[in-house]
Structure 1
């Protein structure tokens, strides 16, 4: 095996646990909530914090990689990832687990731009680079898709912390392989690294999402929610204005002004929102409505995982054969079609139709992500590879975080509006039962059998209706986006030597 393909194997092994950890808790959420006595909102934060913190840190970590080299960045990130995984596995409370997941995101934010920069430096020929990027993209998509299966299997036989302990042996192998396989890069101290601006960005994102969740759930007074939203918006505006004015910004804003890169970022964001949001929705329906165990829910998602994993190299060849414009547009269009199919599928009696929709979704999301990666990485010179990779990685991780938030908020809103509760419930229990299906289950378990069964029947009907409305709305938005991409994506993408 040549050196470049050996490096690719190390990159795959390094990236896999990072992508799995984005979704590994989806099927584990119900049992995790019982073990840590977590509310539905706390569970969303446990899942969400990983992707949201990573999204804010990817930009400065990409710049740090340009400064110290991708090998040093990979070693530092992998070491922190291992330590944070151990802390998460041993977390005694919700607060401790959220903090450990945040530190896990810091290590992952170093690993992701390091892998993309290594690919850009290792594979210089366009055909080979497209194929390698297809493999890399497949690892990211399949890892995110495999998360529920891995988490479900571990929850079936072990305690919840095992979903983090499995990272340790993988990272140990990666550290040794990185030392001996990855080439060294010279230090570039002239490159700037601005961590304070990244913290401003993270704070803005978290405040805005917190305000959105509080507004939907009515957990805080309206004026408190409004103040939090204003604070988040102000920080975000401050961040953008500072980047535009700074002599040495955290990221070169001119990258975003390029049409191909802007479209690529939008596609990466959309693809991850669709994939992660759908997984969160379906894993809840499979367990709460259909009564499947976490492992059975993970197995049901297997067609989506397989399609995501095997279609990366195929999508890479399609980009080479037909160009980015065709593959990008077709990927988003087929995602819309898959959502329309899944929106009106009965997962109890139309299993094969559901699997068909999931296979189509896996292929189309993978094609979209590959087209996004190829568009961004082909449009920048080598010296900008770390920054461009971090920018795309930020879109992926922000999309994963937003997938949980957006689909979660849409489900909460439609679920609360459609559920018909038994008249015997007290006002306090009515408020809790309307919040989410997981909290409805908790209420039902505290009632006598007759009222509890009525409540669960109402919950299942409401969740199924909400699932159809959410996926149908998402499909309509994706359909519109595919038309926009066809109009604005150029027929031919040229490599930019200076930006």
Structure 2
């Protein structure tokens, strides 16, 4: 029994940085923008590459764990995660940091299925296994929810690389404990990896996201605009075709023909888009516009973290009492309401109103996320439970990555259209200042003080306006999705 719970402690210890790294850079975005001189587009890639790569790689890594055993997978994933963390902490430019974050995602994609397999293998009694899974889930949701606050605390006292460097001693400790105390497992060499399919999916996702970003940024090269999303769409179509023909597919795409499962996947993506995208937007406004430190910004956002991190039990009760349909559609509708309210809230003078609306957003989005899990897992046949879980995992990670991309792109487009630039800027300076608030602040530091102050004032005013536009647009999209979910789940089990 001691070894069982020691294994759980090891699993939880390594899962904490994996969960936190999904959101830890949200409050660090302004610091990174100024420290590395990154463009707004590069900043989005630094943050969302982690979830986008992890979405495609987590499934074949699960198969790799079956082949070599979860102990070896945990050691391999932890080692890669630690090396990638060190590389990220030492990054000198945006390209280096993006590559390091992609490697971090591959390591995390190994760690997540290894931790789940470890719990499944270690705890033979259902009662103990459910307790262990509950602890694992709490660490995952809590780590992601409190990532911005953890990042703010580190940035308050150390340089930005500390948000990655702190992973290294944790990983070394986990690897030593795993090697010493975790027993080896049986392996299944016959299990297919389908690694080429996973890489195809990752490339397709990245090309589609890159295509969307170049379109919204108004890229001057028409060939890039047209070719990139087309290639991405063709690769995604090839991935779907290969999966339908494969004997052991990464994702059982036929499950998407079930309306409730499809609705659940859309809900999972939407809930993560709302939570992650909002946190990124808020972190930038609180620091760039209102002058808060990363730690102060993390504290200000605490209500959304607390509400999303601790809403699970209450949301589960609501699903049992009110039914899946009401909780799912209601969660999205309340998220839309909170977005509308936050779009009209002045954070410098109406803090309590902002905190109340953020708490509502955290609870409602997390409730929709739990409802999505219930929809997917309750509608899938028992023999396809693992495949359904894979769909949930992919939807969750894709939602996190797309939340950053969508909110970031809408913000960038609105900011560029609304900023009133002061006179006297050259053409290149004007293009740079209108690209993002981070680049406007970088430029302001190079101008004479009077011109710099005028540019800063214009950038802050444009960002506040853009913030309202993005949140209002997101609220409208959530209302439409809530209506779609309400009608799509009308035949779902209400209990």
TM-score (norm 2): 0.90
What is the CA–CA distance in structure 2 between the aligned matches of 1:376 and 1:181, rounded to whole Å? Answer: 36
Q: Which ranges in structure 2 are unaligned for 5 or more consecutive residues?
A: none
Alignment gaps of 5+ in structure 1: 495-499
Secondary structure, counterpart of 2:310 in structure 1:
helix
What is the CA–CA distance in structure 2 between the aligned matches of 1:385 and 1:178, rounded to whole Å?
28
In the alignment, what sits opposite 1:304?
A: 304
Higher deviation after alignment, 200-209 or 172-181: 172-181
1:354 and 2:357 are equivalent in the alignment: no
Which residue does 2:493 correspond to in 1? 492
Q: Which moved more, 1:386-395 or 1:156-165?
A: 386-395
> Match for residue 419 of structure 2?
419
**1:216-247: per-residue Cα shift (whole Å, max 9, x none)?**
22344122221222221221111112222334
Secondary structure of 1:420's counterpart equals coil
Separation in 2, partners of 1:233, 1:381: 30
Aligned to 2:82: 82
Which stretch has the larger CA shift, 367-376 or 116-125?
116-125
User: Are the counterparts in 1 of residues 50 and 101 from structure 2 also a CA contact under 8 Å?
Assistant: yes
Per-residue CA deviation, residues 428-447 of structure 1 (Å, 9 max, x unaligned), is: 21111111111111222222
- Count of residue pairs the alignment pairs up: 493
Contact 2:240–2:253 under 8 Å retained in 1: no
Of 373-382 and 438-447, deviating more is 373-382
Structure 1 residues 106 and 386 mapped into 2: Cα distance closer, same or farther (>3 Å)? farther
C-alpha displacement of 1:180? 7.5
* 1:438 match: 438
- 1:172 CA displacement: 4.0
Tell me the residue number matched to 2:375: 375
1:64 matched to which residue of 2?
64
Does the 8 Å contact 1:116/1:386 carry over to 2? no
Shift of 1:409: 0.6
TM-fit CA distance, 1:101: 1.0
- What's the CA shift for 1:59? 2.4
Work out the CA distance in 2 between the residues paired with 1:116 and 1:91.
31
Conserved in 2, the CA contact under 8 Å of 1:286 and 1:297? yes
Residues 343/374 of structure 1: CA separation in 2 closer, same or farther (3 Å cut): same
Map 1:165-204 → 2, pairs under 5 A: 165-175=165-175, 186-204=186-204
Q: Which residue number in structure 1 is paired with residue 401 of structure 2? A: 401
Once residues 261 and 72 of structure 1 are traced to their aligned partners in structure 2, the CA distance between those partners, rounded to angstroms, is: 33
Q: Matched residues in 2 for 1:136 and 1:469: separation?
A: 37
| Offset, 1:262 | 2.0
Match of 1:18 in 2: 18
Is contact 1:116–1:385 with CA below 8 Å preserved after alignment?
no
Q: Structure 1 CA distance, aligned partners of 2:228 and 2:136?
A: 38
The CA deviation at 1:22 is 1.3
Task: Compare 60-69 and 97-106 and name the one that shifted more.
Answer: 60-69
Distance 1:406 1:126, change over 3 A: farther
Could you tell me the TM-score, scaled by structure 1's length? 0.89
Question: What is the SS of the residue equivalent to 1:435?
Answer: coil
Q: How far has the Cα of 1:4 moved from its partner?
A: 7.5
Q: Aligned pair 1:315/2:341, yes or no?
A: no
